[in-house]
Amino acid sequence: MVRITFIDIEGTVRPVDGEVGSTVMETAIKHGVPGIEAECGGACACSTCHVYIDEAWREKVGPASPMEEDMLDFAYALKPNSRLSCQIKVTEGLNGLIVRTPERQA
């Protein structure tokens, strides 16, 4: 299990366990973490799974693919550390990952 911590705009901290091979979005949905809508179910087609990657983790998580960048154009309140959580695969290396959810998704 890989520990992933979601922090919402109010500062509420929600640590949950993700499965290797699933995505950060799926982990959030499975555990009912609010603030992630994932309207398109992870197809990189809606940008409603937008999260901010904690600065300490940005390098490990890596950059968005060109397809993801295209979808990020539509995300609300974009920052340099913005990613679509459905495009981040859970790996052992991400144990301890911290992501923040935005004020709103669309």
Ligand X SMILES: Cc1cc2nc3c(=O)[nH]c(=O)nc-3n(C[C@H](O)[C@H](O)[C@H](O)COP(=O)(O)OP(=O)(O)OC[C@H]3O[C@@H](n4cnc5c(N)ncnc54)[C@H](O)[C@@H]3O)c2cc1C
Residue 32 makes contact with other proteins by CB under 8 A: no
Q: Which stretch binds other proteins (CB under 8 A): 23-31, 40-48, 55-63, 83-91?
A: 40-48
Tell me how many residues contact ligand X (CB under 6 A). Answer: 4
Q: Which stretch binds other proteins (CB under 8 A): 9-17, 24-32, 76-84, 89-97?
A: 76-84
Neighbours of 43 (CB within 10 A): 10
Q: Cα separation of 73 and 68, whole Å? A: 9
Q: Dihedral sign, CA of 44, 47, 31, 27?
A: positive
DSSP 98: E
Residues at the interface with ligand FES (CB under 6 A): 25, 38-40, 42-49, 71, 84, 86
